[in-house]
Amino acid sequence: MLTLARQQQRQNIRWLLCLSVLMLLALLLSLCAGEQWISPGDWFTPRGELFVWQIRLPRTLAVLLVGAALAISGAVMQALFENPLAEPGLLGVSNGAGVGLIAAVLLGQGQLPNWALGCVRLLARLSSL
pTM exceeding 0.85: no
| Cα-based distances in Å from 6 to 10, 12, 13, 16 | 6, 10, 11, 15
Distance of CA 121 to the CA centre of its chain: 23
Q: How confident is the model at residue 30 (pLDDT cuts 50, 70, 90)?
A: very high
Asked whether the predicted pLDDT for residue 97 surpasses 90, the reply is: no
Residues in the chain: 129
